[in-house]
Structure 1
Amino acid sequence: MPTKELSPTELHLWNIVENNPEKIAKMSIVKLSQYAHVSTATIVRTMQKMGYGGYTSYRESLKIRNNSNSTFNVLNEADDKIRSVITKNEIEMNNTLHNLSYSTIEDSISMTKQAKIVYIFARGLSESIAEEIMVKLQLTGKYCEFHSDPNIIRTIASKIKKDALAIFITLNGETDELVAAAQKLSKNDIPVLTFTTNKAGKILAFSTLSFIGYKSKTNYFPEYEVRSRLPLQIMTRIFCDAYSVRANFYKSN
């Protein structure tokens, strides 16, 4: 494995996890952070450099090494044969679900639980989705702030402390102020969680974890930038619901 690409801190972490497989397999990302004295962002970044989707996928690989048959298949492939307005939405939904990573879901929940404060940033039509995330996380007891003003976003990004988490909601992942804010946060080793539909978006280079949905090429309002936010809504809803379950806020009947 290309350990030479790891920074000294990342190599320190990698040596710890590789030399203590049985202990690490039982640790959450937060407990490993405390055990190894590194940030959760460092853990995710290290695992990604070593070829894993995140910390959870690395733990699952440890189980497989020990003859565990645990596997995760999120959902089946979408049916893209029927072309109509309704099917366009169905295809977006199914392909977005198909793109979901179990590892990303679990690691994003762990980072959110660890954060003392969550900052949510979005612009335009994505703002309503950001507001919904804020309300849902607040209902679980998590302190959150949502900002959409470009100047405020740029200013706050330079002041966020390392015990926080930043969440970005951006359809194309190219919005200048959001990309600039994510870049600043990444430089300061602040965990960044991004929801987008552009797998080549500039913001992804500065994201610790990312949910990437499927966006249809069909636009029924070609003269305006009002493309469907359905993929973002699906991914953020799954994230919030999963967080509620893991935070023991949701109680089944």
Structure 2
Amino acid sequence: MIINLNENIIKKLTKTEYEIVKFINNNQKILQDLSIVDIAFETFSSPATVSRAIRKCGINGFNELRYKLTSKNENNNVHNIGEIINKSLIEARSSIENISLTNVLKIIENIKKSSRIYVLSRGLTEYVADEFTLKLQLLNCNVVSLKDPNIMKIKTKGMKKNEMAFIFSLNGETEELVKSAKNAQESGACVVTCCCNNIASILQYTDLSLIAYKHSHIAIKEFEVSSRLPLYIISRVIIDYMVLESENNYINKK
């Protein structure tokens, strides 16, 4: 059995949840081909009920259950896919756990107070910054994305105290970003850094930071093309909260 049941666990399960666990244990051979939606369909339940049943059995969600199954599978292809999925799961979960909710709220308050926001990034992280910039623009923020090293160094030297430098950097060690953060801080502007390194050089020139988790495994080792998933998660948390706050304010005014 992939899920071990004992008397204490059985007592916690509803009748539907017990049937879900029985289905999982009785169909271990085909489980790797099923999604959580498929299991819900086969057990006349819902994905939320399937997830709840699994968690009551001491397993942290469907993805962890599937990883347990694939890790024992003799088929190397299935095992490798399980490892890859688990890597993304670890990266996403750890990034969310690392995020300081207090800092998120402080950053959003400073975004709203800033007369202009410069979003700085380099390399593949520019894709994260571009999406973040666009969404802030849609929320009526005065925001500009800077990618050119020379332009960002010049612009950050002349920043005003009511402006913000918002920096996305995977490792927080990119020379031009560190220099720009130093320039912005010396100008009196608010400096926000989102990165995946809690001892990054850039943090010494940062007023507020959000530190995500980057998995040590790199798929393409010859190039610096690590996943930017952790930075996307940070970006999404900030934008989604700002949207929620905006919607609540609109409702309250009606």
Q: TM-score, normalised by structure 1?
A: 0.66
1:208, 1:141 → 2: CA distance?
24
Deviation at 1:162, TM superposition (A): 1.1
- The alignment yields a C-alpha RMSD, in angstroms, of 2.3
2:192 corresponds to 1:187: no
Letter of the 2:200 partner, please give it: G
Distance 1:219 1:250 in 2: 43
Q: Does 1:138 align with 2:137?
A: yes
Return the alpha-carbon distance in structure 2 between the equivalents of residues 156 and 169 of structure 1: 17
Contact 1:140-1:249 within 8 A present in 2 as well = no
Contact 2:158 2:187 in 1 (8 A): no
Match of 2:118 in 1: 119
- C-alpha separation in 2, matches of 1:228 and 1:95: 14
Residue 239 (1) aligns with residue 212 (2):
no
Structure 2 regions of 5+ residues with no counterpart? 1-59, 72-81
3-state SS of paired residue (1:89): helix
**Amino acid of the structure 2 residue aligned with 1:232:** L
- Return the alpha-carbon distance in structure 2 between the equivalents of residues 250 and 169 of structure 1: 29
Bigger-Rg structure (1/2): 2
* CA–CA separation in structure 1 for the residues paired with 2:122 and 2:231: 13
Higher fraction of helix: 2
Q: Offset of 1:189 from its aligned partner?
A: 2.0
Q: Which structure carries more relative contact order (alpha carbon 8 Å, separation 6+)?
A: 1
Aligned residues: 177
- Cα distance change, pair 144–95 in 1 and its aligned pair in 2 (3 A): same
Q: State how 1:1-253 maps to structure 2 within 5 Å.
A: 84-248=83-247
TM-score scaled to structure 2, two decimals?
0.65
**CA distance, structure 2, for counterparts of residue 210 and residue 94 of structure 1:** 18
SS at match of 1:246: helix
- What is the deviation of 1:250? 8.6
Mapped partners of 2:227, 2:179: distance in 1: 24
2:216 partner amino acid: K
Q: Is the 8 A contact 2:198 2:211 kept in 1?
A: yes
